Amino acid sequence: MTRLADAGEEALQRLSELPGGQRALTAANDLRARVDDLTKKVRGIDALEARIVKLEKELAALKRVKASTSRATPRKPAA
């Protein structure tokens, strides 16, 4: 593992010494940060979906209650 880590560090050092290499490393680090942010946002979608399902069930229950109460009260004929 140590040899592998050393080889990776050496490769990154060589890459940074190449023309434009530093820009490539900066872009790679920026990409990693953006992917991390995106991952956090995507994890939040699961919670939102659960809230939507709960709200839809509550709305359906309210519609059922409203429909049954409106049918139970008879209308008075117009005079």
pTM: 0.46
* pLDDT tens-digit series, residues 8-38: 888 878 877 878 878 888 888 899 999 999 9
Decide if 30 contacts 36 (C-beta within 8 A).
no
Q: Where are the domains of the chain?
A: 10-70
The CA distance from 33 to 39, in Å, is: 10
Sequence-distant (6+) residues with CB within 8 A of 56 are none
Q: Look-up: residue for tokens 């990776």?
A: 8
* pLDDT tens-digit series, residues 23-78: 888 888 899 999 999 999 998 898 999 999 999 999 999 999 888 776 655 566 66
